[in-house]
Amino acid sequence: MDYVRLGNTGLQVSPLIIGCMSFGDPHRGPHPWTLDEDASRPLIRQAIEAGITTFDTANVYSAGSSEEIVGRALRDFGRREELVIATKVHGRMHDGPNGAGLSRKAILNEIDASLRRLGTDHVDLYQIHRWDPLTPIEETIEALHDVVKAGKTRYVGASSMSAWQFSKAHYLARMAGLTTFVSMQNHYNLLNREEEREMLPLCADLGVGVLPWSPLARGRLTRDWDVETARSQTDEFGKTLYREGDRAIVDQVAAIARERGVPRAQVALAWVLANPVVTAPIIGATRPEHIDDAVAALDLHLGEDEHARLESAYEPHEPAGF
Ligand SMILES: NC(=O)c1ccc[n+]([C@@H]2O[C@H](COP(=O)([O-])OP(=O)(O)OC[C@H]3O[C@@H](n4cnc5c(N)ncnc54)[C@H](OP(=O)(O)O)[C@@H]3O)[C@@H](O)[C@H]2O)c1
């Protein structure tokens, strides 16, 4: 596997990142479709054996149990010095005041809680999961800088927000001589390309790595529009992201996959991987073949005509996933 630099940093990440939202106690948190620990561990091991070194989780995934499961599996199957462990902060972790958001208090509490659950003394990438309108961004970036200086994370990144917000945060940190953001984890796939307008050009200009989430549109790009799975039936957030008009794009993916004789997931992922602004997509795997397909997609190069066909049915969307 050819490892890639995360934006302008010297950090090498694998060209595929394992999304650990798939792993978690289905009875904790709002994702009843997740794989429990016994079902998750073989997939984490398979990914490591395939050369994938980079794993993305969040404090909020399955109420912390994703971090617990992933931490134990990475300790058992991986080599810490090679692994890149990314987690996130912002979501609600407890009722009452200071249970969510990006205040100094929340960030300093939550990094310690994530490290405890992951069973490591540092993460490699600590990401703000969303923008917090209730906390001055200056407070957030100073707290993140302190997390870096305390050795609890190597780098800081951000996730879905407006381009103006990310630009403001980035330049405020730079002007103050504080740690700047090295990555943007955002929603980007064939069904939602709105990030091409502002965020992707901004990241290219800043030299920030781009780590798209839901590159397969949460599975929609991998099967006929009307087919449902255990996840699609209970993925409440996922239900808000796509719409009937996207069906024509799913049909194009199916047609090209048929012509090529490969699974649809490979075609949809190859399209994301072909964008030079993209550093590494964060894939969601719930079966072994999902990892195999993702690895195979690294070697699938679509032609210009195939790109044009995949992109021709796209219609502008309302911003989604913020
Ligand atoms: N920062 C954020 O706000 C944010 C938001 C969302 C996700 N994320 C991150 O991104 C990661 C990935 O998100 P995602 O799970 O939505 O990504 P995704 O890769 O778009 O969707 C994964 C789903 O697609 C289906 N699938 C995957 N590979 C397949 C294959 N080869 N053949 C057939 N079906 C396949 C499976 O659906 P079924 O299980 O239904 O079969 C799987 O659960 C998460 O784990 C998380 O780390 C971050």
Instruction: Ligand 1, residue 20: give the atom nearest the CA.
Output: 45
- Closest residue (by CA) to atom 33 of ligand 1? 222
b/e for 100-136, b at 16 or more Cβ within 10 A?
A: bbbbeebbebbbeebbebbebebbbbbbbbbbbeebe
- In the reported structure, the alpha carbon of residue 218 is separated from the centroid of ligand 1 by a whole-number distance in angstroms of 4
Residue 223 belongs to a domain: yes
- In the reported structure, the alpha carbon of residue 142 is separated from the centroid of ligand 1 by a whole-number distance in angstroms of 32
Instruction: Ligand 1, residue 159: give the atom nearest the CA.
Output: 1
pLDDT in tens, 284-319: 999 999 999 999 999 999 999 999 999 999 999 887
Residue 79 belongs to a domain: yes
**% of the chain beyond a pLDDT of 90:** 94
- In the reported structure, the alpha carbon of residue 285 is separated from the centroid of ligand 1 by a whole-number distance in angstroms of 6
pLDDT of residue 67: 98
The neighbouring-strand residues paired with 87 are 126
Gap between the Cα atoms of 84 and 105, Å rounded: 25
Average pLDDT over residues 113-123: 98
61 is catalytic: yes
pTM for the predicted model, two decimal places: 0.98
Tally of CB atoms within 10 A around 82: 13
pLDDT of residue 117: 98
The number of distinct structural domains making up the chain is: 1
Q: How confident is the model at residue 162 (pLDDT cuts 50, 70, 90)?
A: very high
pLDDT of residue 165: 97
Residue 317 belongs to a domain: no
The CATH number given to whatever domain includes residue 260 is 3.20.20.100
- In the reported structure, the alpha carbon of residue 236 is separated from the centroid of ligand 1 by a whole-number distance in angstroms of 14
Gap between the Cα atoms of 228 and 131, Å rounded: 32
pLDDT in tens, 169-215: 999 999 999 999 999 999 999 999 999 999 999 999 999 999 999 99
Residue 321 belongs to a domain: no
Average pLDDT over residues 106-114: 98
Q: What are phi and psi of 5, to 5 degrees?
A: -80, 140
Residue 136 belongs to a domain: yes
- Closest residue (by CA) to atom 13 of ligand 1? 214
Ligand 1 binding pocket, CB closer than 6 Å: 19-22, 56, 129, 159-160, 185, 213-219, 222, 229, 231-232, 263, 265, 282-286, 289-290, 293
- Closest residue (by CA) to atom 22 of ligand 1? 284
Q: Given the DSSP bridges, would you call strands 54-56 and 181-185 parallel, antiparallel or unpaired?
A: unpaired
Q: How confident is the model at residue 322 (pLDDT cuts 50, 70, 90)?
A: confident
Q: Is the pLDDT of residue 320 over 80?
A: no
Residue 101 belongs to a domain: yes
Residue 141 belongs to a domain: yes
Residue 175 belongs to a domain: yes
Q: How confident is the model at residue 56 (pLDDT cuts 50, 70, 90)?
A: very high
> Given 3, 61, 188, 242, which residue is catalytic?
61
b/e for 255-292, b at 16 or more Cβ within 10 A?
A: ebbeeeebbbbbbbbbbbbeeebbbbbbbbbbeeebbb
Q: Is the pLDDT of residue 321 over 80?
A: no
Gap between the Cα atoms of 50 and 29, Å rounded: 30
pLDDT in tens, 73-90: 999 999 999 999 999 999
pLDDT in tens, 134-148: 999 999 999 999 999
- In the reported structure, the alpha carbon of residue 18 is separated from the centroid of ligand 1 by a whole-number distance in angstroms of 9
Q: What range does the domain containing 187 cover?
A: 4-312
